[in-house]
Amino acid sequence: MNNILASRHNPIHSLLPDVADLFAAFPAIGALRANSHLIRVEDELGENEYLVRAELPGIDPTKDVEIIVRDGMLTIKAERQTRAESDARSEFAYGSFVRTMALPAGYIEDDVKAAYDQGILTVTVPLAAATSPGKHIPVVVTESSQ
């Protein structure tokens, strides 16, 4: 057992990553806490726009949703709260989540729009026309590498 502990503290000899490293590789695992929820998101990249659809049933989109575009990232934050009361008891349910996605090149930040219909939040991100199809870079082989 001492050998196992010794190898854990010396990462050069360890064949398995540290448990913290495993959790860091999967940020969604943190959303499995009791007061957090996973959000289902679908995205679609078109020629002129990028669409993101998020399932958010049972919320008030004017009070419970925040959408932020910053540094090439789209962040959707939402919080859900419900309260049910009967004669001698009351129940509370609440949860929050955050989902961040990288935006494609050429997005127009000032024209991003969001709409909510029947539990689906749709964020529309317009894209500028591509100014360049890209440049092909040839590889030059030198005589010393042959």
- Helices in 74-129 by DSSP H: which ranges? none
Give the start-to-end residue ranges of the domains of the chain.
Answer: 34-128
Average pLDDT estimate for 26-51: 68
Q: Which CATH number describes the domain made up of 34-128? A: 2.60.40.790
Whether the pTM exceeds 0.75: the reply is: no
Tens digits of residue pLDDT in 40-89:
889 999 889 999 999 988 888 899 999 999 999 999 999 887 777 888 88
**Which of 134 and 30 is assigned the larger pLDDT?**
134
- Cβ-contact 87, 30 below 8 angstroms: no
